[in-house]
Amino acid sequence: MRIGRHASPTQFILAGLIGCSLLLWLYWINPATAGSATWSKQLPVVRTVYFPATGHHLSNRVGFLDFWRANGQLHTFGMPISEELVIDGRIVQYFERARFEYHPEYAGTPQQVQLGLIGREWLAHQPTIPPPATDTAIGAFFPETGYTLRGEFFEFWERHGGLPVFGFPLSEERDENGTLVQYFERARFLYRPESLAPFFRQQQAIYGLDLDSLFEVQIDDLGLQIATLHGINTTPVARLPGAVDWSPGLWSRRIEVDLARQYLFAYEDNLLVFSAPVATGRDGFNTPRGDFTIYYRLPQQTMSGCLGGECWYVPNVPWVQYVVGGVALHGTYWHNAHGSGVRMSHGCINLRIDDAQWLYEWADLGVPVKIY
């Protein structure tokens, strides 16, 4: 079945009917309009959010909203650029970097929402096919497609979703107009080394570590390009009654730090939306256990002090969020022991730089932090 075809008039009518059903749901779940009708309480509560920047909604009617929240959000998929559409009998929605597809045959399972093969579709419209791998001994070779993954792209692919989110590689790394790119079944990666600040690049050389910024590897806007190629209507629509602007603050956010596992988890209500390895306080400087909140934040700070007969001076510590006393969540550039079980800090919760930035952009003052 091909998803990426021009939507017919019948399909747009179906999409309009879906929109009408959403309006009815929003009407009935609004306390101001529900009245005393007890049967309306049995209707599903469907959260619908709106993105003013693109003029489109994202709903949990078929699970798209929760899938988006749990798998990288803006960083991975971008914003919605269409409403839900019915194309070839399947509900789909286009995003800047992806296409979501609803598979009712897998309802209630992790496969209910799947990502369209927009990388394959894009390459099918290109004049040349990427040549096969010539050196399969370096990196990870995928016999399914005949290509390899290595370096920064491999690390990003593994850490941000792997096969379910990006699919198999469909090319080797290649230069396109001066930018290193690689194609996948569901995405195209771009390498932006300039996004790692010069200071951290210098520290990377000094310590011999691989440091990453949040945007060193970027996911290109193939969703938008495929939507344009297939004539999908991306015109902004009016906000539905009751739909609020998207923000992580719409849900009850919380952070949990598991000292035994040396791992951090971030939740919106009960939905896990982010996890990352950490390195916490070593013996004598143990990270305190308890329930705290983020009370002070800085995008960068020079940390210095003396405690327990030790003194330190650490410039340009990135993405700092204090939770109790002098204990903070922050990025580190002087070690890569995160998640290894080796506790390195003077009590703070150390994260990789890109993980610390994601968490900083997602969190806010007052977000609860449970350390156990």
Residues 6+ apart with CB under 8 A from 196: 204, 211, 212, 213, 216
What's the DSSP call for residue 238?
A: P
Residue 22: phi and psi, rounded to 5, are -65, -40
CA distance 37 to 194: 59
Q: Answer positive or negative: Cα dihedral of 121, 127, 129, 131.
A: negative
Is 57 a known active-site residue? no
Q: Are 329 and 320 in contact (CB under 8 A)?
A: yes
For residues 310, 316, 317, 321, the Cα torsion angle rounded to the nearest 10 degrees is 120
Is 311 a known active-site residue? no
Catalytic residue among 56, 230, 346, 348: 348
Q: Both tokens of residue 339?
A: 């998640």
CA distance 19 to 282: 55
Catalytic residue among 75, 230, 330, 346: 330
Among candidate residues 234, 250, 215, 192, the one with its CA nearest the CA of residue 99: 234
Placement of tokens 């790394």 in the chain:
173
Q: Known catalytic residues?
A: 330, 348
